[in-house]
Amino acid sequence: MPPKIAEVIEHDICAACGACEAVCPIGAVTVKKAAEIRDPNDLSLYEKGAGYLVCEGCLTCSRVCPLVDGFVENELANVRKFFAARSKENAGSQDGGVTSGILKSLFKQGKIDCAIGITRNEKWEPKVVLLTNAEDVERTRGTKYTSDPVVAALREAFEKYDRIAVVGVPCQAHSARLIRENISEKIVLIIGLLCMESFHRDVMLEKIIPEIMKVKIEDVRKMEFTKGKFWVYTSDGEVHSVPIKDVAKYARNPCHHCCDYTSVFADISVGSVGAPDGWNSVFIRTEIGEEYFDMVREEMEIMEDPKPGLELVRKLIDTKRKNNAEHFKEVCKELSFETGIRSETV
């Protein structure tokens, strides 16, 4: 019997988070734009020279797949604290620099050995990297809006490090939580990002930026989704924007089935929605998140009651659910295993 992720891949709801690649004991799964599995019953999926790397049916991958696990109905139910914050050293950050500030402080204090993040080159081509010191964190500042299998990097990280932080969008935070609960306690902190959708890198770099935004990718210094528009800031000081609906249709297909906006499975969620310009919204979700944020609190400025606050966050949660929940429920009817949107609290 093939693992459940074979159906997740077949129905094109695979988030390509990379969890299955990270945990497969024989390396039978490879995550690229989508995922592919070497099925012993389908020789066409073998890679040359890799005939021995076939699924042995241990089903480890199924235990860490966010789509197999499903979503929760109320993603704010586990929020212990909500506030706005900004790092006291936030130059070059997307908003308040909270994610970078947390990682830098934890490295300086010797609380983590490794963090997994995404850096980019001058052409905005993303690359998943293992960060091992505060200086490395500088290379990952800013949001890229393109998806790479971040969690797959845990395979290497587990071999080398004992205290690992993972930063990722909701599907990546979800799978990192499942890995921590089922496979390895080396993941000591999960920082989740707010995410409506993401894009394949070639769609962003070859379609959206040059054709829709009419900008050279080399000139882009910052991108953001806010106030109903996709904004691109260029090195000449110009600001370009289009309505989000003009680009949302180009999002990865799995994103149209996702029902998690605020990274409900993270220890700490960080975004910009709900906080004033130049600040981050911060959601403390677990005892672990509370413990680690207390370690770095002195590096942050805190705003206890930010506006527009959780009211706006709730509206965007509802928008994402309205757009995506029915798509996901329809796919669930075709799966041989049970998943879906459940009512319990994480």
Fold of 4-70: Alpha-Beta Plaits (3.30.70)
Q: Fold match between 4-70 and 201-249?
A: no
- Six-digit token string for 283: 């959601």
d(CA 262, CA 289): 15
Termini Cα distance of the chain: 30
| 3 state DSSP class of 22 | helix
Name, in order, each residue with C-beta under 8 angstroms of 135's C-beta and a sequence gap of 6 or more.
Answer: none
Q: Which residue has the tokens 């006291």?
A: 88
Q: Which residue has the tokens 């790092």?
A: 87
Reported in sequence order, the residue ranges of the chain that DSSP labels E, i.e. its strands, are 29-31, 35-37, 71-72, 81-87, 114-120, 126-131, 164-168, 187-193, 220-226, 229-234, 239-243, 268-271, 280-284, 300-303, 341-342
DSSP class per residue in 159-201: HH-SSEEEEE-HHHHHHHHHHHHHT-TTEEEEEEE--S--B-H
Q: What is the pLDDT of residue 283?
A: 98
* Fold classification of 75-198+251-328 (topology level): Aspartate Aminotransferase; domain 2 (3.40.640)
d(CA 178, CA 131): 22
Contact (Cβ atoms closer than 8 angstroms) between residue 127 and residue 138: no
CA distance 136 to 148: 19
Residues 311 and 305 sit within 8 Å (Cβ to Cβ): no
Question: What are the pLDDT digits (tens) for 55-85?
Answer: 778 889 999 999 999 999 999 999 999 999 9
Is residue 114 within 8 A of residue 132, CB to CB? The reply is: yes
- Identify the pLDDT of residue 75: 96
CA–CA gap between residue 246 and residue 22 (Å, rounded): 35
pLDDT value at position 41?
Answer: 60
> Could you tell me the residue ranges of all domains in the chain?
4-70, 75-198+251-328, 201-249
Asked whether 181 and 265 are in contact (CB, 8 A), the reply is no
What are the pLDDT digits (tens) for 35-50? 455 555 665 554 443 4
d(CA 290, CA 186): 18
Q: Which residue, chain included where needed, has tokens 């990280």?
A: 157
Low-confidence ranges of the chain (pLDDT < 70): 1-2, 32-54, 91-94, 142-143
Class for the domain spanning 201-249: alpha beta
Residue 140 structure tokens: 């990952």
